[in-house]
A = this chain, B = another copy of it.
Amino acid sequence: MTDRPQASGETLLFLTDDQVRRGIEAMFFAYRGFTADPDRILAEYGYGRAHHRAIHFINRRPGLTVTALLATLGVTKQSLNRVLRALVEDGLVESRVGPRDKRERNLYLTDSGIALEAALSEVQGRRVRAAYRAAGPEAVAGFRRVLEAMMDPDLHGLYAREAERI
């Protein structure tokens, strides 16, 4: 379909199919690198990425309700429940009855939960920082802009809007 080399005219940003495929490939490799370090720590606890995500978002929004976390992660409650139950049983997450609405459960990290979160974001952040350093400041700004644009507006919009509201 598209086979012009570089061009620029109307779009100023013309990419061949091959260039796009390289970008797709880069996302795959980068995401794998991105998750490799936390995965190793999680494995020691018998946890997976699902646990990491829950811990991450509870840390970001202490007091988050189960429904809100469900919407953020985009999984079913049955799926999340298994993960959440393990975290609560292991004493990393605390589930308090909602003060306003008693049906709700507000989720908080315990001290051990905070410690694990710190360890996870430390190793993951190490790689992110290293990549940022290697690429340079303007590259980081561009990176973030592309990522934002790549997000699914339906799924992420809710989260972003909620973030402002709170």
Contact = CB atoms under 8 A, between A and B. Distances in A.
Interface in A20-38: 20-21, 23-34, 36
A3 interface: no
A112 to B, nearest CB: 18
Given A33-B151, A60-B25, A137 B53 contact: no
B152 A23 contact: no
Q: What interface size band does chain A fall in?
A: 35 or more
Please indicate which of the listed interface residues A13, A15, A31, A146 has the most CB atoms of chain B within 10 Å of its own CB: A146
A60 B21 contact: yes
A135 B159 CA distance: 21
A130 interface: yes
B53 A28 contact: yes
A146 B26 CA distance: 10
A65 to B, nearest CB: 18
A63 interface: no
Contacts of A86: none
Nearest to A37: B152
Contact of A29 (B29, B33, B60, B156): B156
Interface of A: 11-13, 15, 17, 20-21, 23-34, 36, 53, 56, 59-60, 74, 121, 124-125, 127-152, 155-156, 159
Given A21-B59, A32-B155, A131-B146, 12 more contacts: A15-B129, A15-B132, A20-B121, A20-B124, A21-B125, A24-B128, A27-B147, A29-B151, A134-B145, A135-B142, A139-B146, A140-B146
